[in-house]
Structure 1
Amino acid sequence: MSNEHASSLVASTAIAQGAGPAPGRKPNIVFILADNFGWGDFGAYGGQVATPRIDGLATDGMRFTNYSVECQCTPSRSAILSGRYPVRTGNMRVPFPGEGQMGLAPWEYTLPKLLSDAGYATALYGKWHVGNTPGRMPSDQGFDEWWGILNSSDEAAYAESPLFRSLGYPAPHIWEGQRGSASRPVEPFTLELKAHMDERIVGHGTDFIRRQAADGSKPFFLYLGMTLVHPPVTVHPAFLRGSPDRQGIYADCIAEIDFRVGQVLDAIREAGIENDTIVVFSSDNTADAPAGGGGGSNGPWRGNFFTPPFEGSYRTAAMIRWPGSIPRGVVSNEMLTSVDWMPTLAGLAGESGRMPTDRPIDGIDASEFMLGQRPTSGRESLMYFGPDGELMSVKWRNLKAVFRYAEGITRPVVTPYFPILYDLSSDPGEQVNLFETNMGMAWVIAPIEGVVSEYRRSLERYPNIPLGADFEGYQ
């Protein structure tokens, strides 16, 4: 953490101590996961579209500038929910037909399972995308109730295709389910409905907040899988402006997600549970940058959502608020990633002891850092794997070694003869290869090799789960 960040943390800790959660009560947790927004899309990160509610959430808590996800939806979501690299859980990409089942195996111990075992009421509304077969539905993975879509929201456009209709394929649906019973489709998922999808997701979510606050017998975990902005083809009519001084429908989607976040925050405040409720906001992937324009901003970072392992393919916005407990107004460049949420939220809930010990957990518990009790997150390195499950890059502190890279979803993977090394603190665009300009930097291979060696040693006892496998545990 820089001196600026450390000073901000100390000052904000004093402010945070003026209020706090009810004594002896575990915090509620609301996790809002947007879909494919860039690091530079929101006002707090320098975005050009007004996002007062998201900016306010950042100001009232901690905002992270060095937070990374995966470059596809399913890998990111599996990482958040399991605390494990997607390559370990068989979720480095979505399987093609005939390659097995998509999503997390029933054996995985997920964040909602952990919190449910700790006495939480749990609910998911919105996008799931980590399993669409029995045993892998949200209600099989720790959620008491759920409503939403099993896969990606681009399925809403399927029924628009005359060929799709002529072949008699079943239309994509919205589903719902409850723990202990089979999930079921409840209505077709169309482009017309997609324009109202996030309104309905938040409607379900705020109803859940009010119900749980009125009941008061349990803390709750609410996971909102928003569909905005993937893909940016529809938006609620109330936000469809399209004036030349805006950035088209993408900017309208930004305006809507900001409004939806505000609705959730208002529901928490009106229920009188602000000090008892942790709110996390982030995105599952970074922004696309289509050739015709109209896409999002990944800030100064090179690439877009499918140019691994460049930062623009992984680094996105993230923030957390817990009034009276997490210092407010902190902007941190400490390294964090999606696998860190499960152990960190377990730590904030006082349930670290429930983290599984029979498998590798790649996430680190950053709860003490977020509470202002230590100056660093505890994460010093991060590995990036490709959709093929092979290592692409290792980030160690501000340095990043690239072993393979791709310039786009339809472009080939390039394996340079010698790794490329970038200093992200001075070269966010990843343009200057330090191994070409300063061979005195070759010593960096040693700590990076240490990170890779530790991972490889873990595979001897815990081999990675194959893509699509119906895994039942290690022997």
Structure 2
Amino acid sequence: MSYRKRILYKKQISYRKQISYKKRISYIKRISYHFRYLYEIRFRTKSVFLFLVRNPFCVRNPSNSFSSFFAAFLVAKGSSSKPNVILILADDLGFNDMPWNNPAIIAPNLHSLAKNGTILSNFYVQPVCTPSRSALMTSRYPIRLGLQTDVITAPQPSCLPLDEVTIGNEFQSAGYTTHIVGKWHLGHYCPQCLPNNRGFDTFRGYLTGAEDYYKKTFCIPLVPNQRPAACGFDFYDNENRMPKANGTYSTYQVLIYLFIHTIILKFADASREVIKSHEGSKTPFFLYLPFQSVHYPVMVPKNYSDLYPNEKNHTRKEYMGMVTAMDEAVGHIVDELKAAGAYENTLFFYATDNGGLVGAGGRNAPFRGQKATLWQGGLRVPAFISGPGVPSASNYKNMMHIVDVQMTVLDAIGHQRTGEKHVDGVSHWSAITAGDEKETMDLLRRKRERTYDEVESRIQKKLAVEKPRTEILDRILIFFCP
């Protein structure tokens, strides 16, 4: 190659690198406005720092400090006729991952609650996270919300529609204080989307999903489907970042235990402190406890995974340990309620957002399929209800969907829903407490790109309502903040 050609070749390579670099920066700038985190983005030869400590317009009330999270709830013994309500939502938990379906799982606290209450053996959800959570929040099918297809991603300019009445709004109108400890994942595009503006007095946890359990970081690729990734810190006390919650995932187990243990137990500690610090209050509380467990990344302290020495699959072993850690967290909350004399007046509802992901350790036996599919393994999940008025050691076999949860628990506390929009959910409270048969209800199923075979209902192309009517719906609503 001649000298002239070598010079031209070098210039072309330099130009291509420059264009590639500019494209990456452009992509970062596009996502950074919505991601609202502090990034440290490293390239092979350069480091770029984007100091984005949330969009300033997203900090509604900086005075909502860490301590304000502990500002509102406990019904002590005999102080209120209305029961407290704790709604626990696991994440990516398979049908075969609870002890009443699989004795190999160690979860004594959840098992005890289930045995002392009613197991919902025919409970259905949507195949992925956001659709299920939106149905739970509104008691309306995700197709009505434009959220039926997939999850809301970190840079996505959308959220649960602002004109929807949430379960938090309903409990507030019923005279409850309302709280979230855990995973939101219903959009955080603007201040109106955040939990504190959606019917919840306090919030502590994640805004998105799939965070590192110790570092509280969530990562997305700089270029779609490629590495390296941009990672943002995602753990909040109301609308304020909590960098002190950042821990270290390492082999120094003692340090992990002393500082953070696991984020699972961190959620439990937050709930326990709130309960303990407000003993004696006459106001009932609603606590929504959406664990990230057992969603990937699969990680848990070794002492939990060591409880399963006979499990040879490493991922499955870690996953089972995560289930046990989550169960321990629930046990801490139950202990605090008992110590405060509030346990007997607390209603528990437990479910998960979708079936287990087999590649991440989940098991959905005896059903085929997994998370993100329309087979039973993606839609049918373990669930129970326990507490005052609920029959013990009972099995409720009627079909129930996550869209029914709100109406059921509101019926349990004697509250008539105030929202004006049509709701798709129905209350199962009278049927559960009296052992009656419930009329066959609607079940939402949607064809997803990752489902290539026929589903049991033989409906494949669009969203469908199955039983008692079959109605084809195809409606997508895109929401943008004002």
User: Which region of structure 1 is more displaced relative to structure 2, 310-319 or 89-98?
Assistant: 89-98
> Is the 2:97–2:363 contact (alpha carbons within 8 Å) kept by the matching residues of 1?
yes
Q: TM-score w.r.t. structure 1 length?
A: 0.72
1:343 partner letter: M
Distance 1:321 1:96 in 2: 34
Distance 1:115 1:217 in 2: 15
Distance 1:70 1:335 in 2: 14
Distance 1:112 1:258 in 2: 25
Residues 379-411 of structure 1: CA deviation (Å, up to 9, x unaligned): 4331212458x9x999xxxxx522118xxxxxx
2:334 partner letter: L
Corresponding position: 1:382 with 2:422: no
Distance 1:40 1:122 in 2: 31
Q: Post-superposition shift, 1:356?
A: 2.1
Distance 1:215 1:448 in 2: 47
Q: Post-superposition shift, 1:281?
A: 1.4
SS of 2:334 mapped into structure 1: helix
2:281 partner letter: G
| Aligned match of 1:360 | 422
Corresponding position: 1:248 with 2:314: no
1:403 partner letter: I
Corresponding position: 1:229 with 2:294: yes
Residues 219-260 of structure 1: CA deviation (Å, up to 9, x unaligned): 100111212111152113442427641342111112212211
Distance 2:154 2:273 in 1: 38
| Aligned match of 2:22 | none
SS of 2:192 mapped into structure 1: coil
Q: 1:44 to 1:375 in 2, by over 3 A?
A: same
Residues 2-57 of structure 1: CA deviation (Å, up to 9, x unaligned): xxxxxxxxxxxxxxxxxxx9597111001111111111111111242222211111
Q: 1:173 to 1:381 in 2, by over 3 A?
A: closer
Distance 1:110 1:218 in 2: 20
| Aligned match of 1:75 | 131
Q: Aligned ranges for residues 82-93 of structure 1 at < 5 Å?
A: 82-92=138-148, 93=150
SS of 2:479 mapped into structure 1: coil
1:27 partner letter: P
2:383 partner letter: A
> Is the 2:139–2:423 contact (alpha carbons within 8 Å) kept by the matching residues of 1?
yes
Q: Post-superposition shift, 1:216?
A: 2.2
1:151 partner letter: T
Q: Aligned ranges for residues 399-438 of structure 1 at < 5 Å?
A: 401-404=457-460
Distance 1:198 1:300 in 2: 28
Q: Post-superposition shift, 1:276?
A: 1.1
Q: Post-superposition shift, 1:218?
A: 0.5
Identity %: 25
Within the candidate set 202, 205, 222, 1:148 is matched to 205
Residues 272-301 of structure 1: CA deviation (Å, up to 9, x unaligned): 1122110111111111112xxx62221211
SS of 1:147 mapped into structure 2: strand
Q: Aligned ranges for residues 446-457 of structure 1 at < 5 Å?
A: 451-453=469-471
Distance 1:109 1:378 in 2: 26
SS of 1:43 mapped into structure 2: coil
Corresponding position: 1:350 with 2:414: yes
Within the candidate set 83, 96, 102, 1:46 is matched to 102
Within the candidate set 247, 262, 267, 1:196 is matched to 262
Distance 1:40 1:104 in 2: 31
Q: Aligned ranges for residues 18-57 of structure 1 at < 5 Å?
A: 25-57=81-113
1:174 partner letter: F
Q: Aligned ranges for residues 9-408 of structure 1 at < 5 Å?
A: 25-92=81-148, 93-95=150-152, 100-101=157-158, 103-133=159-189, 134-154=191-211, 156=216, 158=218, 169=230, 171-177=232-238, 183-187=239-243, 192=249, 196-212=262-278, 214-241=279-306, 244-246=309-311, 247-290=316-359, 295-307=361-373, 309-323=374-388, 325-352=389-416, 354-357=417-420, 359-372=421-434, 375-386=436-447, 401-404=457-460
1:249 partner letter: E
Distance 1:467 1:35 in 2: 25
> Is the 1:195–1:235 contact (alpha carbons within 8 Å) kept by the matching residues of 2?
no
Q: Post-superposition shift, 1:195?
A: 6.5
1:62 partner letter: T
1:25 partner letter: S
Q: Structure 2: 5+ residue runs without aligned partners?
A: 1-76, 250-255
Alignment: residue pair count: 383
| Greater Rg over alpha carbons, structure | 2
Distance 2:198 2:372 in 1: 28
Distance 1:79 1:452 in 2: 19
SS of 2:469 mapped into structure 1: helix
RMSD: 3.4
2:419 partner letter: P
Q: 1:314 to 1:168 in 2, by over 3 A?
A: closer
Distance 1:99 1:202 in 2: 30
Q: Structure 1: 5+ residue runs without aligned partners?
A: 1-20, 178-182, 395-399, 406-412, 420-446
Q: 1:74 to 1:47 in 2, by over 3 A?
A: farther
Distance 2:441 2:229 in 1: 52
Residues 286-339 of structure 1: CA deviation (Å, up to 9, x unaligned): 11112xxx62221211101122x211111001011113x111010122101110
Residues 411-461 of structure 1: CA deviation (Å, up to 9, x unaligned): xx9x9xxx9xxxxxxxxxxxxxxxxxxxxxxxxxxx9586234x86xx9xx
Q: 1:96 to 1:207 in 2, by over 3 A?
A: closer
Distance 1:113 1:259 in 2: 30
> Is the 2:396–2:432 contact (alpha carbons within 8 Å) kept by the matching residues of 1?
no
Q: 1:387 to 1:342 in 2, by over 3 A?
A: farther
Q: 1:146 to 1:272 in 2, by over 3 A?
A: same
